[in-house]
Every structure is written in C-alpha cells, then in structure tokens.
C-alpha cells in the first residue's frame, strides 16, 4: 500500500501573469475575509438596543454655570421680592462659598416669548431665541456638585469624583465607530482646559481606546500627527505594521493591559487621520455665507463659532459625539458683575449656537443630530457680594434640539424664585439616560463589568425623560 502523502495538484502550464493574478487574488481574499470578520464582530457587539433617533451628539458646554434665571427661566416673584432675604420656606442652602444666603437679586434682563410655542428667552440670547420651536427646554435639572470640579465632572461622567467614563466614552463603547478615518468621540476647547482637564473625556474604567480625542482648532488638529516630509506613506505603513506586530506579541501575555491595545488602535487611527483630520478641520472652502452664519466675521464670536462649524463638519463625516466648550476655565462663573460677565459670554455663544442649529436644519441633518446646550449648574437667585450670583446645583436649565427631540416645549420648572427644581425634577443621571436613549441605547442594558459589578453610565439611578420625544 502506498503511504506517501498525497501531493496537491499543481498546474504545470501557468503563465507568469496567471501565477501573479492568482496570488494577488488570494491576498485580496484574505483582506476581504478580515474586513468581513470585523463587520461581523461590530454587528454582534455594537448594535443599538433599538432604532436610534439621533446618529450624533453635539454638546455645547457652557463651563462655569450660566444663570438660568437670566436666560430661560423668568421669575416675576424675584422681581417683586428684590432686596429681601430668601423666604424661610426655601430652607437655608449652603452655597459653594460656604456662606449663608444673601438678599434676592432681581434679573435686569427683558424676557419675551418667541416662536409659535411662545417660549420665554431673555434679550441676552436673541439668535438662539429664533429657534425655540426646534428645542425642548428642561427647566428643572439638578445635580450633586457644589463646586466646579465635581459639577463639571458629574455633568460629563455622572459622578462628582473622578475615575468614571465620560458619556461620550459610553456612547463609543455602546455603538462603536461610524467611520475608519476619524475618532468617534472628539473634544473641542476654546482657550484653555476645562476645570478637571482630560478626566472630563476620560474612558475611566472602560478600555482606554474609548477615551475622547482633543482636536486643536488651529494648525494640526492633533500634535505630531503629520509625518516628516522625508517619510513616505509606504515607509510609514511598513513601520506601523512592524510596530503593531511587536505590540501584538507583547500583549498576548498581558490581555488586561487596555492601554497597550489602545495604543495599537491609536497608531492605526492616526495613520488614517493624517489626511482625514486636516480635511475635516479645514473650513477655508466653506462659503462666506456659512462662515457669517456662525459668526466668524466678528472677533467676539470667531473662536467659538469656528468650533461649532467644525463640529458640524465632524458629524458630517461620521463622528458620533462632539463636545465643544465655551468659556473653559469657568468663564461663566459670575460671582460678581453678572451683567458684565454674562453679557460677554452670551455674545460669544449666541450666534454660533444659533448658526449651528440653522446650518444643521438647512442641510437636513438636525433630525439626526442631537444638539445640547447647558453648563454644570445654574446660579442662585440670591446675590453674592453686591452684583453677582453663586453656584446653584439645585435647579437649572438645559436645552436639547434635533435628534428626535420634540421642539417648542418646556419640561419642568423651578420654584418661584428659581432656586430649586420643583415640578418634574431631572437629575443628571436622567439627562444622561435620555441622551443614550436618543442614541438607541438603553442605559440599564449598557453595562461593563468592573471590580465585581456591572457598571453603567447612570451609576445606580437614571430615568429616561420620555416627554422629550413624545
């Protein structure tokens, strides 16, 4: 019996062209199989829990605490009780500065009703007021943080203490990437870092690959992204492949090292971004009419307006979550001279935010893009010093537009002087649950096992504010 191994049939009369063609086809099949496997994994692990109403989020974060009672929540009683102590029925709140309440400070703003819905907006926001029929005003938000570090952290991560993932990281973890050339979660700053710094877009205990990526508005969006002119694409690709091979071998015995896996992904993404990121951030080819819409023709609104325009360009290209800060370093923090402080900050933010909503609507993108406006808390109806307002986490306003949100409505209310959420209180966990719901994610099912328990974005609470989209 012949026990020699069976030899594969090898055609003897193939031309060199046919050999190369068959070999090339084989490599192509390998690549196709890899891409199909990637898609299968993504479809299995990163599928929405239900049909999303929004594909992207643009969060306009007014850092420092804008005053709801001077912008979206008019209080006639505050005018009537001006100069008097806070009524005893409101209790004796401890302010962020550790002092007792002072006399009630009336608003100097003029409020008017706007749109078909008749929503009240102050004269500090004339452009944003034009879009009231596109957004829902949540007047009864409340938080736990009394100071900026804890409050900014909670608005971003759900907790006043550091270490938890930001909401953008949860969205990326739950839905995955929508493009191969740009990050899924991008952060745009105006002048400096926000209070708390990068922990506000950290992935916390989630794998490091889900953290936000800070883009710079001028020059290269990401430092060291552009390669030297002496290195060509083929050479760079070869180096990257070799580095990835070494890292993969090293990580086989260190499966719990998410930083290494994040670094591998970051190298690959950076290679893809070298052309995509500068193109996304290049607004030079935008029509002058669009630039004017965002306020790029005025020094006061140019910087934040540019960030708003770049946010639109990013979601156009498949970025799921963009957070842009206005007033980093707590510039909305009006402990004194609220008139001067807020007049400046409202002038900076009014036209750009309104321009963003207008531009998205004109392009047919507003229906699938959720725009959020708000800060980490509001401000007290009592004066601090002679003409300022202190921190108020007990009741403040956030508004949401587009992305499945029912426009032209107000949900909830604060008490008659604007100190505490009274009707339909909405905690930050409720706000986060609602945002996730609009993105097609159930906040109770979106979990990650950490330290022996199933963690979720809303910690131990959170209820979807269904009135937002009913």
Residue 173: which of 452, 463, 448 has the closest Cα? 448
Whether the model clears a pTM of 0.95, i.e. scores above it, the answer is no
Q: What is the CATH number of domain 16-226+286-468?
A: 3.40.720.10
Give the range among 178-182, 230-234, 449-453 with minimum mean pLDDT. Answer: 230-234
Residue 398 has pLDDT above 90, yes or no: yes
pLDDT score of 77 more than 60: yes
Contact between 139 and 68 under an 8 Å Cβ cutoff? The reply is yes
Query: Residue 34 pLDDT > 50, yes or no?
Result: no
* Local confidence band at 180 (pLDDT 50, 70, 90 cut-offs): confident
Q: Domain map of the chain by residue range?
A: 16-226+286-468
> What is the sign of the dihedral through the CA atoms of 75, 383, 60 and 463?
negative
Q: Are strands 185-188 and 321-326 parallel, antiparallel or unpaired?
A: parallel
Residue 264 has pLDDT above 70, yes or no: no
pLDDT band at 291 (very low <50, low <70, confident <90, very high): very high
Q: What is the mean pLDDT of the chain?
A: 85
**Could you tell me the sign of the dihedral formed by the alpha carbons of 446, 402, 392, 347, in that order?**
positive
More confident residue, 161 or 229: 161
- CA–CA gap between residue 59 and residue 187 (Å, rounded): 10
Contact (Cβ atoms closer than 8 angstroms) between residue 58 and residue 369: yes
Q: What's the pLDDT score for residue 280?
A: 81
Q: Which of 365, 371, 370 is nearest to 316 (CA)?
A: 365
468 vs 212: CA distance, rounded Å: 27
CA dihedral 348, 359, 194, 67 (to 10 degrees): 50
d(CA 315, CA 58): 8
Tell me the chain's radius of gyration from C-alpha atoms: 26
Label residue 89 by pLDDT band (50, 70, 90): confident
Q: From CA 79, how far away is CA 64, in angstroms rounded?
A: 24
- 87 CB-contact burial (10 Å; exposed 0-12 / middle 13-18 / buried 19+): middle
pLDDT digits (tens, 9 = 90+) for 293-345: 999 999 999 999 999 999 999 999 999 999 999 999 999 999 999 999 999 99
Place of tokens 């930001």: 166
Sign of the dihedral defined by the CA atoms of residues 412, 48, 132, 419, in that order: positive
Tokens of 85: 């102590």
């Amino acid at each position: 019996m012949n026990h020699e191994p069976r030899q594969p049939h090898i055609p003897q009369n193939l031309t060199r062209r046919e050999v190369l063609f068959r070999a090339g086809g084989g490599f192509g099949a390998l690549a196709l199989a890899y891409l199909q496997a990637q898609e299968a994994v993504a479809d299995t692990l990163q599928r929405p829990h239900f049909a999303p109403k929004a594909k992207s989020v643009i969060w306009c974060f007014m850092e420092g605490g804008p005053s709801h009672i001077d912008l979206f929540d008019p209080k006639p009683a505050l005018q009537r009780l001006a100069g008097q102590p806070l009524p005893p029925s409101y209790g004796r709140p401890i302010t962020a500065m550790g002092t007792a309440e002072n006399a009630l400070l009336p608003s100097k703003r003029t409020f008017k009703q706007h749109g078909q819905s008749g929503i009240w907006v102050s004269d500090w926001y004339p452009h944003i007021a034009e879009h009231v029929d596109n957004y829902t005003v949540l007047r009864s938000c409340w938080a736990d943080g009394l100071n900026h570090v804890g409050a900014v952290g909670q608005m971003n991560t759900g907790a006043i203490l550091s270490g938890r993932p930001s909401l953008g990281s949860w969205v990326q973890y739950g839905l995955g990437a929508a493009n191969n050339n740009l990050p899924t979660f991008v952060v745009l700053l105006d002048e400096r870092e926000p209070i708390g710094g990068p922990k506000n877009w950290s992935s916390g205990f989630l794998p490091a690959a889900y953290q936000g990526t800070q883009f710079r508005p001028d020059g290269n969006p990401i430092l060291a992204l552009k390669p030297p002119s002496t290195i060509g694409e083929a050479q760079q690709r070869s180096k990257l492949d070799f580095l990835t091979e070494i890292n993969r071998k090293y990580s086989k015995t260190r499966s719990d090292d998410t930083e290494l896996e994040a670094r591998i992904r970051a190298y690959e993404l950076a290679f893809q971004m070298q052309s995509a990121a500068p193109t996304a951030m290049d607004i030079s080819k935008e029509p002058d009419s669009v630039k004017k819409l965002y306020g790029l023709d005025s020094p006061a609104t140019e910087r934040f307006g540019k960030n708003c325009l770049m946010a639109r360009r990013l979601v156009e290209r498949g970025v799921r979550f963009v957070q842009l800060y206005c007033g980093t370093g707590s510039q909305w923090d009006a402990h004194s001279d609220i008139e001067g402080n807020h007049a400046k900050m409202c002038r900076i933010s009014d036209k750009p935010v309104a321009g963003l909503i207008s531009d998205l609507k004109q392009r047919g993108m507003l229906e699938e893009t959720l725009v959020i406006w708000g800060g980490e808390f509001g401000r007290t109806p009592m004066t601090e010093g002679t003409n300022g307002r202190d921190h108020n986490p007990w009741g403040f306003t956030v508004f949401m537009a587009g992305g499945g949100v029912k426009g032209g409505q107000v949900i909830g209310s604060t008490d008659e002087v604007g100190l505490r959420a009274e009707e339909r209180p909405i905690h930050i966990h409720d706000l986060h649950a609602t945002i996730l719901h609009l993105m097609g994610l159930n906040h109770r099912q979106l979990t990650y096992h950490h330290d022996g328990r199933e963690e979720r974005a809303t910690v131990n609470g959170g209820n979807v504010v269904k009135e937002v989209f009913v």
